[in-house]
Amino acid sequence: MMRIRSKFLALASVAAISAAALLAQGPATGPALADQAETREPLTFINLPQAAWTVVGHKKGFIQEEFAKIGITDINLINPGTAELSGAEAALLDRGGLAIAQRMMYPATVHKANGIDAVIVWQSSPSDKYRTPLLAKAESSINSPTDLEGKKFGGSRVGCGWTSPTEILNEAGVPLDTRIRKGAVRQETITNSAATSAALLSGAIDATATHIALPASAALWLSGEVKVVGRSPDDGIYVNAAGRVSYFAMRPFAEAYPEAIRAFLVAHERTKAWIQDNVDESAEIIAEELRLPVQIAKFQITDASSFEFMDGEQSAENARQAIRDFQKYYIEAGDEILAERYLKDEAIEQFVDARFFKGGEYSVYN
Instruction: Report if residue 13 sits inside a domain.
Output: yes
Last residue of a domain, one of 231, 266, 284: 231
Measured between alpha carbons, how far is 319 from 105 in angstroms, rounded to an integer?
Answer: 9
pLDDT at 191: 84
Q: Is residue 159 located within the same domain as residue 272?
A: no
Last residue of a domain, one of 170, 196, 231: 231
Q: Is residue 156 located within the same domain as residue 286?
A: no
pLDDT digits (tens, 9 = 90+) for 41-83: 888 889 999 999 999 999 999 999 999 999 999 999 988 654 4
pLDDT at 13: 42
Measured between alpha carbons, how far is 190 from 199 in angstroms, rounded to an integer?
Answer: 9
pLDDT at 97: 73
Give the 3-state secondary structure of residue 51: coil
Cβ atoms of 358 and 130 closer than 8 Å: no
Q: How many CB atoms lie within 10 A of CB 170?
A: 20
Q: Is residue 121 located within the same domain as residue 144?
A: no
Cβ atoms of 243 and 160 closer than 8 Å: yes
Q: What is the mean pLDDT of residues 227-247?
A: 96
Say how many domains are in the chain: 2
pLDDT at 6 over 70: no
Measured between alpha carbons, how far is 6 from 85 in angstroms, rounded to an integer?
Answer: 23
- pLDDT bin (cut points 50, 70, 90) of residue 170 is very high
Instruction: Report if residue 330 sits inside a domain.
Output: no
Q: What Rg, from alpha-carbon coordinates, does the chain have?
A: 21
Closest CA to 261 of 353, 328, 331, 345: 353
Handedness of CA 125, 126, 129, 135 (dihedral sign): positive
Cβ atoms of 231 and 133 closer than 8 Å: yes
Measured between alpha carbons, how far is 131 from 116 in angstroms, rounded to an integer?
Answer: 26
Q: Is residue 121 located within the same domain as residue 55?
A: yes
Q: Structural domain of residue 173, as residue ranges?
A: 134-231
Q: Is residue 119 located within the same domain as residue 249?
A: yes
pLDDT at 90: 61
DSSP string, 136-192: EETTSS--SGGGGTTSEEEE-SSSHHHHHHHHHHHHTT-PBPBTTB--SBEEEE--B
- The H-or-E segment that residue 325 falls in is helix 316-332
pLDDT digits (tens, 9 = 90+) for 298-313: 999 999 889 889 999 9
Average pLDDT, the chain: 87
pLDDT digits (tens, 9 = 90+) for 195-214: 899 999 999 999 999 999 98
Instruction: Report if residue 363 sits inside a domain.
Output: no
* Farthest CA pair distance, the chain: 71
CA atoms within 13 A of residue 298's CA, in its CB half-sphere: 10
Measured between alpha carbons, how far is 137 from 60 in angstroms, rounded to an integer?
Answer: 40
pLDDT at 114: 92
Q: Is residue 22 located within the same domain as residue 118?
A: yes
Measured between alpha carbons, how far is 303 from 300 in angstroms, rounded to an integer?
Answer: 6
How far is the first Cα of the chain from the last one, in angstroms, to the nearest whole number? 37
Q: What is the mean pLDDT of residues 142-162?
A: 95
Closest CA to 108 of 352, 365, 356, 305: 352
Instruction: Classify residue 315 as left (phi > 0), alpha (psi -120 to 50) or beta.
Output: beta
CATH number of residue 286's parent domain = 3.40.190.10
